[in-house]
Structure 1
């Protein structure tokens, strides 16, 4: 098969990289396209994945519209030249629109309910929309659900093993208590109107009061008095740090879920609510969601409680229960791509494989 994969965010590189490697090893032709996102490009290069940039990034709604149009035209031109069988992405409108114009199928993955504008212009045109079972919305006949999380596409134990040398190389004493703090920029389209912590300095002070070392990963510049706490590990090595940490605290839903599936408890502080984080809290006790107006105070209260009782809680056991309930998400990606070799009406789609269930 010829498969197009499009990347809009660094997390999408992680999500698709194992599937790309397996498709290519099986002799399929995979082309990767993206917008000009520096960290995503760095990740692709670090994993040895060839890619082509089709459009610049955008920093406003008007520029987003221009960038999207440019991206869709460029992707359409590549598709007319290369004739893909399947086009796939996480929540990307272009692949769904492409499949309505050409004889190829679109497989769209998503776990983000609040990306309402993006979802509205993507889902009606997609041949298949794949979501975790925890996804809160019913998307109709084209929706396929599976027992798992996006993060298990690359952090399932069959695909990832923590490397303690990464922690040592970062100058972190393996015996010291470690908290990873994540601060986001809140400039992504689906984050508009959202918010997390009000005072990063106060968050660090409270966490360090418990005798922990705080390492910060942030999308924007840190204030001078926190700059020395910025993580020094490469982006592709961050998961080794999360696996070693005693606790994750932050505004990133993806990193909260990554921590959870690695067995590291996470406290998520944000106005945003997501089905997969709710499931990681209610079903497995690996995430605490703090979304109200007093979320900073509540997040710090929950973090303090976890740090105080950390050694008395069987985090590894909670993770094992999660893994027993879930599938390797890369297997879902591969099965959905393999199940979509040619353009067919939705009513004629074969029954999905056991790892996923069509609604």
Structure 2
């Protein structure tokens, strides 16, 4: 098969990287296209994935529309030259549009129910939409569900083993109490009008008073007093750090889920709720989600209590139960891409409907 993978966010690199290697090892011809967004290109380079950057970064919703148009136009040109069997992506706006124009089958993965714009622009054109079983929404006959989360495509123990050297490299000791904190920019199309912490400085001060060392990763400029807490190692080593952290506190759902599947309790502070975050909270007790008007105060109280408690074995037991219930999602990616490719007619003037 000829397969195009489109990458528009750092998390997409992690999600697809093992599937790309597996598909290439099976003899398929992979073409990876990306746009610059935070550390996306850096992650692709560090993963050793051949790729072409089609568009730059966006810094507002207005510029995002222009960047997306540029990305789709350039992707269409490349796809006409490649003549792909399958185009796959997370969200999949560009993938679904371009696939429909070049006679390829589009396989879209998604887990964000409140991303109305992306769903409206992608789902009607997509051939296959793959979602976790906990996804709160019915996409119709094109939907395929699986028992897992995006984060288990790269943090399942069959795919990832944390490197303890990250502690020394980050200037930490094994006995240190570590909190990883994430601040979001709130400039995605589905984040308009939403919010998280009232005062990040207060959060760091309270956690440090409780005996924690706080390492911050942020999409926005930090207040001067917090610059000393900024995480400065390579971006692909954050998962090693999360695995050894005692708690994650943040506004980003992806990192909250990453922490949870690694067995690190996550305090998620966001006015939005998500199906996979709710399941990690309600079913496994690995995420504590706060999205009401008092979310800042309540989340900080929870984070401090986790730090002061210092109990790690309960989180490991909860993670063990999660892993017993859920699957390696890279296997799902490979299966659905190969299934979509095998369903394409050799003449491929139009794609044959996927039986899923």
Q: Which residue of 2 aligns with 1:354?
A: none
| Gap change, CA 1:332 and 1:312, over 3 Å in 2 | closer
Secondary structure, in 3 states, of the residue corresponding to 2:148? coil
TM-aligned CA deviation for residue 308 of structure 1 = 3.2
Q: Which residue of 1 aligns with 2:327?
A: 327
Q: Which residue of 2 aligns with 1:343?
A: 344
TM-aligned CA deviation for residue 59 of structure 1 = 2.5
Q: Which residue of 2 aligns with 1:193?
A: 193
Q: Which residue of 2 aligns with 1:69?
A: 69
TM-aligned CA deviation for residue 114 of structure 1 = 1.2
1:311 paired to 2:283: no
TM-aligned CA deviation for residue 38 of structure 1 = 4.6
Q: Which residue of 2 aligns with 1:6?
A: 6
TM-aligned CA deviation for residue 346 of structure 1 = 9.1
Q: State the alpha-carbon separation in 2 of the partners of residues 346 and 324 from structure 1.
A: 37
TM-aligned CA deviation for residue 115 of structure 1 = 0.9
Q: Which residue of 1 aligns with 2:23?
A: 23
TM-aligned CA deviation for residue 103 of structure 1 = 1.7
TM-aligned CA deviation for residue 56 of structure 1 = 2.3
Q: Which consecutive residues of structure 2, in runs of 5 or more, have no partner in the other structure?
A: none
TM-aligned CA deviation for residue 132 of structure 1 = 0.5
| Gap change, CA 1:346 and 1:134, over 3 Å in 2 | farther
Q: Which residue of 2 aligns with 1:237?
A: 237
TM-score by length of 1: 0.94
Q: Which residue of 2 aligns with 1:125?
A: 125
| Greater mean alpha carbon deviation, residues 243-252 or residues 64-73 | 64-73
Contact residue 142 and residue 346 of structure 1 kept, 8 A: no
| Greater mean alpha carbon deviation, residues 95-104 or residues 134-143 | 95-104
Q: Which residue of 1 aligns with 2:32?
A: 32
TM-aligned CA deviation for residue 254 of structure 1 = 0.4
| Greater mean alpha carbon deviation, residues 25-34 or residues 251-260 | 25-34
Q: State the alpha-carbon separation in 2 of the partners of residues 213 and 62 from structure 1.
A: 38
Q: State the alpha-carbon separation in 2 of the partners of residues 167 and 191 from structure 1.
A: 33
Secondary structure, in 3 states, of the residue corresponding to 1:339? helix
| Greater mean alpha carbon deviation, residues 189-198 or residues 234-243 | 189-198
Q: Which residue of 1 aligns with 2:109?
A: 109
Q: Which residue of 1 aligns with 2:257?
A: 257
Secondary structure, in 3 states, of the residue corresponding to 1:125? coil
Secondary structure, in 3 states, of the residue corresponding to 1:88? strand
TM-aligned CA deviation for residue 128 of structure 1 = 0.3
Contact residue 154 and residue 160 of structure 1 kept, 8 A: yes
CA deviations 1:207-261 (Å, max 9, x no partner) are 1121111111111221111111111221000000000000000101000000000
Q: State the alpha-carbon separation in 1 of the partners of residues 326 and 174 from structure 2.
A: 30
Q: State the alpha-carbon separation in 2 of the partners of residues 50 and 37 from structure 1.
A: 17
Q: State the alpha-carbon separation in 2 of the partners of residues 252 and 177 from structure 1.
A: 21
TM-aligned CA deviation for residue 348 of structure 1 = 5.0
What RMSD over aligned residues (CA atoms) do the two structures have, in Å?
A: 1.5
CA deviations 1:272-305 (Å, max 9, x no partner) are 1100000000000000000001111010111122
1:299 paired to 2:290: no
Contact residue 15 and residue 153 of structure 2 kept, 8 A: yes
Contact residue 89 and residue 108 of structure 2 kept, 8 A: yes
Q: State the alpha-carbon separation in 1 of the partners of residues 155 and 143 from structure 2.
A: 24
Q: State the alpha-carbon separation in 1 of the partners of residues 310 and 171 from structure 2.
A: 23
Q: State the alpha-carbon separation in 1 of the partners of residues 310 and 279 from structure 2.
A: 21
| Greater mean alpha carbon deviation, residues 176-185 or residues 147-156 | 176-185
CA deviations 1:25-67 (Å, max 9, x no partner) are 1111111111122510000000111111112222333332222
| Greater mean alpha carbon deviation, residues 235-244 or residues 207-216 | 207-216
Secondary structure, in 3 states, of the residue corresponding to 2:311? helix
Q: State the alpha-carbon separation in 2 of the partners of residues 308 and 299 from structure 1.
A: 14
Q: Which residue of 2 aligns with 1:183?
A: 183
